[in-house]
Amino acid sequence: MGIILPVQSHEPLYKQVRNAIEQAIRDGQFAQCPLPSSRALADELSISRNTVNLAYQEMLSEGLIVSEERVGYRANTAILSSSPGHAQEKNPPEPNTVDWRRHLQTQAQAPLPEIQKDYDWQAYPYPFIYGQVPSSSFPTTAWNRALRTSMEYPHVHWSLRDGGSSDDPLLVEQLRTNVLASRGIRAAPEEILVTLGAQNGLFLAARSLLGPGDRAVVENPGYPDIAHILAATKARVTPIEVDRDGLCVGDIPRTTKLIAVTPSHHFPTNVGLSEERRGLLLQAASDNDSLILEDDYDSELRYTGRAAPALRAVDRERVIYVGSFSKFLAPGLRIGYVVAAPELIERMRHERRYSVRHAPGQIQRALALMIETGDYQRVLRRYRLSLRDKWEAMNSALRFIIGRDFLPSTGGTSVWVPLPDHVRADAVVLEAAKRGVLVESGAPCFTAEHPDRQRFLRVGYAAIPIEAILPGLRVLADVIHDERKQTKR
Ligand SMILES: Cc1ncc(COP(=O)(O)O)c(C=O)c1O
């Protein structure tokens, strides 16, 4: 949370809390999101709620914070920024002896758009946030059982050993036989690498394949992090438009070395790459001697129709398949995997050795046990059903409330919502947050100069309780309506 109490102080505790909150506000931590609830802050600091309430009351009476219905407290940034000397008197800046600009390397990807997430999303009554899983939907009992077994003979060895650059053989086996098979993928153990989430897999693939001047293609709109990852290798990154059939494959330059795609559910629109485009993409890769980086981050979350097989299931040579357990277990576990040709896997393993060695042994073993016992499949089925209910609730409510034809999706955990003309996504996000609704702007998913940057919202539904969907979307619709009225004035 970033509110830190001094190690030693003679001031009363509530004053220390008050000063720490004020400092955090001045550091800009609460410019976009509400302050933590008194209960959350008291838990975090291991102090009583009364002490936190006293601190909040004092700040409220001085106008440093304001109280908002259904949101809680917010920083009154207008007052704080109008008294710049105030903080300096209390906390004189430390002398700066190191010129960090001289030491830090320039980042090739620095100017690219970035997703800014409000990780304090639980503070909102209507958290339509993408990519977060509420702890209440995590299969705690099954996971605890697997963790316990992972500490018993013979598993404890695999949980605690230093694996060097190798992976847990039981997890590799379970991935091969129980997870990848459902995507139509056949893989030998030497074609599989366990990673710290899909992100780590994308990073290792990019590092192993690209160098300065190589051309790589990303989707536009697309997952902003992949553009960062590819650009960090000093490759030339070419964004290619996406339409209702997915990536516009015909626009891919012939000189491309690596094509990064999300074919099952395009990020962020959720459209699937059409049958025809899939064929064209595989053909183009073969004709141009390109490789395809298939980011299949949430393929298990499909609620209607039959899933197309992974591209990797069709082309075992040119497709590098990246999967993850973040979306249907929890992102905090940081487990993903890559399936690719043995030559590439060996190189990625070598790269991984010098950064993280391997994913934590106990997490690998517990996950393997959970899949082996069938718990994982049971949990996944249940989770998929609950997400399907939310997906239906989202679709029918959005159709009714927003009344616009948004892109059809077959699954995923978010809906890509178009805004009326002249209404800006960033403005809607800010105003919605004030009214307790957390949604994300589509802007960072586009290149900086794209004309549609401000035209979409990404509305996630994995974290929000189903009963909050309709009232939350109603508030969102009001916000959009109000913004529209303002633009007409
Ligand atoms: C499209 C896409 N790819 C990759 C990732 C990274 O996932 P992980 O948490 O497994 O690293 C995400 C996470 O949100 C994502 O949305």
Q: Is 297's C-beta closer than 6 angstroms to any atom of ligand 1?
A: yes
What is the average pLDDT across 469-484? 94
Q: Is 223's C-beta closer than 6 angstroms to any atom of ligand 1?
A: yes
| Mutate which of 195, 199, 321 for ligand 1 pocket (most atoms within 8 A of beta carbon) | 199
Q: Is 337's C-beta closer than 6 angstroms to any atom of ligand 1?
A: no
Residue with CA nearest ligand 1 atom 3: 297
How many Å lie between the centroid of ligand 1 and the Cα of residue 297?
6
Q: Is 331's C-beta closer than 6 angstroms to any atom of ligand 1?
A: yes
Q: Is 362's C-beta closer than 6 angstroms to any atom of ligand 1?
A: no
Let me know: does 212 contact 235? Beta carbons within 8 Å: yes
Q: At what angle do helices 375-401 and 140-150 cross, to 10 degrees?
A: 150
Q: Is 326's C-beta closer than 6 angstroms to any atom of ligand 1?
A: yes
CA atoms within 13 Å, Cβ hemisphere of 313: 16
Q: Is 267's C-beta closer than 6 angstroms to any atom of ligand 1?
A: yes
Enumerate the H helices of 331-465 as residue ranges: 342-353, 361-372, 375-401, 425-434
pLDDT (0 to 100) of residue 92: 57
Q: Is 299's C-beta closer than 6 angstroms to any atom of ligand 1?
A: no
- Can you read off the two tokens belonging to residue 400? 């009714």
- Can you read off the two tokens belonging to residue 359? 């994913």
* DSSP-derived secondary structure for 328-350: TT-GGG--EEEE--HHHHHHHHH
Number of Cβ atoms within 10 Å of the Cβ of 287: 9
Q: Is 323's C-beta closer than 6 angstroms to any atom of ligand 1?
A: no
| Mutate which of 298, 324, 414 for ligand 1 pocket (most atoms within 8 A of beta carbon) | 324
Question: Taking phi first (over 0 means left), then psi (-120 to 50 degrees means alpha), and beta for anything else, what does residue 340 get?
Answer: beta
pLDDT in tens, 16-47: 999 899 888 888 888 888 999 888 898 888 88
Q: Which atom of ligand 1 is nearest to the CA of 201?
A: 11
What whole-number distance in Å separates Cα of residue 302 and Cα of residue 388? 8
Q: What distances in angstroms separate CA 225 from CA 105, 113, 123, 222, 231, one per listed residue?
A: 19, 9, 26, 9, 10
What domains can be seen in the chain, in order of their start residue? 13-94 (1.10.10.10), 121-137+378-488 (3.90.1150.10), 140-376 (3.40.640.10)
Question: Taking phi first (over 0 means left), then psi (-120 to 50 degrees means alpha), and beta for anything else, what does residue 307 get?
Answer: beta
Confidence of residue 165 (pLDDT cuts 50, 70, 90): very high
What whole-number distance in Å separates Cα of residue 96 and Cα of residue 93? 8
Closest CA to 253 of 239, 267, 243, 273: 239
**Helices H, strands E: what count in the chain?**
18, 15
How many Å lie between the centroid of ligand 1 and the Cα of residue 70?
31
Q: Is 269's C-beta closer than 6 angstroms to any atom of ligand 1?
A: no
Following CA atoms 157, 158, 164, 165 in sequence, which dihedral angle do they give, to the nearest 10 degrees? 170
How many Å lie between the centroid of ligand 1 and the Cα of residue 196?
11
pLDDT (0 to 100) of residue 408: 58
| Mutate which of 223, 261, 299 for ligand 1 pocket (most atoms within 8 A of beta carbon) | 223
The answer on pLDDT for 108 being more than 80 is no
What is the average pLDDT across 207-218? 97
| Mutate which of 225, 242, 300 for ligand 1 pocket (most atoms within 8 A of beta carbon) | 225
Q: Which atom of ligand 1 is nearest to the CA of 202?
A: 4
Q: Which atom of ligand 1 is nearest to the CA of 331?
A: 9
The answer on pLDDT for 266 being more than 60 is yes
In the chain, % of residues over pLDDT 90: 64
What whole-number distance in Å separates Cα of residue 301 and Cα of residue 175? 17
Q: Is 336's C-beta closer than 6 angstroms to any atom of ligand 1?
A: yes
Quote the mean pLDDT of the chain. Answer: 90
How many Å lie between the centroid of ligand 1 and the Cα of residue 238?
20
How many Å lie between the centroid of ligand 1 and the Cα of residue 23?
33
Number of Cβ atoms within 10 Å of the Cβ of 103: 7
- In what helix (H) or strand (E) does residue 320 lie, and over which residues does it extend? strand 319-324
The answer on pLDDT for 307 being more than 90 is no
Let me know: does 363 contact 333? Beta carbons within 8 Å: yes
Q: Is 324's C-beta closer than 6 angstroms to any atom of ligand 1?
A: yes
Number of Cβ atoms within 10 Å of the Cβ of 250: 9
Q: What distances in angstroms separate CA 44 from CA 15, 40, 41, 52, one per listed residue?
A: 17, 6, 5, 11
| Mutate which of 295, 297, 356 for ligand 1 pocket (most atoms within 8 A of beta carbon) | 297
In the chain, % of residues over pLDDT 70: 95
75 pairs with which residues across the strands? 65
Q: Is 218's C-beta closer than 6 angstroms to any atom of ligand 1?
A: no
- Which residue has better confidence, 283 or 103? 283
How many Å lie between the centroid of ligand 1 and the Cα of residue 327?
8
pLDDT (0 to 100) of residue 82: 61
pLDDT in tens, 416-438: 999 999 999 999 999 999 999 99
pLDDT (0 to 100) of residue 102: 87
Q: Is 203's C-beta closer than 6 angstroms to any atom of ligand 1?
A: no
pLDDT in tens, 330-376: 999 999 999 999 999 999 999 999 999 999 999 999 999 999 999 99
How many Å lie between the centroid of ligand 1 and the Cα of residue 199?
6
